[in-house]
Amino acid sequence: MKKKFLYGIMIIVLVAAGFMAVRAFFPRSSQQVPAKAQKKPLTVRVVIVSVAPISNILELTGSVRPYRAARLASAAEGPVLKVNVREGDWVKVGDTLLSIGRREGIEASIISLREDLKKEEDNLRRTQQLVETLALPGEDLDQAKANCEKARAALAKALETSGDYSITAPWNGMISRILVEVGNYTAPRVPLLEMYDPTTLIINVSVPERHAAHLKRGGQATVSLDAYPDTVFKATVSRVYPYLEERMRTRSIELELKDRVDILPGMFARVGLNAGTIDSALVIPAQALVATQNAGTIVYITTGGKAFQRTVRVGIEEGGRAQIIDGIQLGDSVIISGLTGLSNGTAVEIVDDSSSQKTTRAVSDKPDNGTLISKTTGSAK
């Protein structure tokens, strides 16, 4: 009996010892682990939402072309006898550029018609004298006048036809292309020469339909030409076409460079067209914008030491700045740096250093020209 009692005591002691050993090696977290430490606030930089002018600049392409150009042809047919010009020649109005053969017949016809007209004019004078003396009735005078006019019309027609055998310059300009050679046989109304007026060179640009309604003559633009890679030229909208091109749904405009520049037809131009200016727009650095999975855009603002999401609607955006149409207000503190790891309600610490101050000034201050420039890409679709 005593042995059983001793065995029981020993078992109880062993169990208690084991329990104490387990507690010694595996303490409860409530006894050994301190309370959960608070996360350190994230370091961020902010700018204050400000108001500034901003211009919507459409990025377009265009080409240099003359608005006065001609493809010269003739109503006559025959072999080309002489070409008096070459590409690049400057010609004056009335200069003979090209001659076509087989004009001997029309020249002979002109001589004959001149004689016919002279006879009809003499007959008209005799008839008029006889009618005045009542030797002939008045109807004979009317017939003589009609015959004279008919002969005069035939001669005029022959002279016009004679002019078809030579091509003359319609105005001062430059020969751009010769499409035939001496000896070629030409058919009526086939283009033989091309010329243009270098003083009428403009930059032709097609503007997408969504921007077409607000185009006005006198608008401002910038032009970059591959021939002058280090220069950006200022230009003015000199003409706005009154219709949309049906196939591409674009509206053509013409730009004139403000500076005198040597340009050639066919040059490629990159155009920045000012499609309108907003005088008072809410502006923030574009680096503050965060894209969401549902194709939206958010920014983070700070208040009370925490960051909060704001869904925004973005307007004009370019050059490191963005116009905010809706979602934030003037004076809000928008986070522009330290966005990684932010979520709604995250504790933040604002760094007020020189780089942050420079960023703030870049948004709140007006540029030298008083306009915050932005660009919107335009495509003819």
Query: Which pLDDT does position 379 carry in this prediction?
Result: 40
Q: Backbone phi, then psi, for 355, in 5-degree steps? A: -65, -40
Query: Which pLDDT does position 249 carry in this prediction?
Result: 93
Q: What is the pLDDT of residues 263-321, one digit of tens each?
A: 999 999 999 998 888 888 999 999 999 998 888 999 999 999 999 999 999 988 877 88
Q: For all residues of the chain together, what is the average pLDDT?
A: 83
User: Sign of the CA dihedral 264, 265, 267, 268?
Assistant: positive
Q: How far apart are CA 258 and CA 52, in angstroms?
A: 28
* Count of beta carbons in the 10 Å neighbourhood of residue 196: 19
* Count of beta carbons in the 10 Å neighbourhood of residue 295: 6
Q: Is the pLDDT of residue 370 over 70?
A: no
pLDDT-derived band at 32 (thresholds 50, 70, 90) equals very low
83 near 182, Cβ under 8 Å?
yes
Q: How far apart are CA 303 and CA 287, in angstroms?
A: 20
In this structure, the dihedral spanned by the alpha carbons of residues 168, 171, 176 and 178, taken in order and rounded to 10 degrees, is -10
Q: How far apart are CA 73 and CA 179, in angstroms?
A: 10
| Residue corresponding to tokens 């050679």 | 181
253 near 215, Cβ under 8 Å?
yes
pTM score, whole prediction: 0.62
Domains (range + CATH), the chain? 43-55+278-377 (2.40.420.20), 59-67+198-277 (2.40.30.170), 80-98+166-196 (2.40.50.100), 104-164 (1.10.287.470)
In this structure, the dihedral spanned by the alpha carbons of residues 355, 357, 362 and 366, taken in order and rounded to 10 degrees, is -160
Query: Which pLDDT does position 142 carry in this prediction?
Result: 85
**Degrees (nearest 5) of the Cα angle 45, 51, 55?**
110
Q: Mean pLDDT, to the nearest integer, of 103-123?
A: 82
DSSP annotation of 245: B
359 near 351, Cβ under 8 Å?
no
pLDDT-derived band at 101 (thresholds 50, 70, 90) equals confident
Q: How does strand 78-83 pair with strand 96-100?
A: antiparallel
pLDDT-derived band at 347 (thresholds 50, 70, 90) equals very high
And the tokens for 102? 């087989």
Q: Is the pLDDT of residue 378 over 60?
A: no
| Residue corresponding to tokens 């650095």 | 285
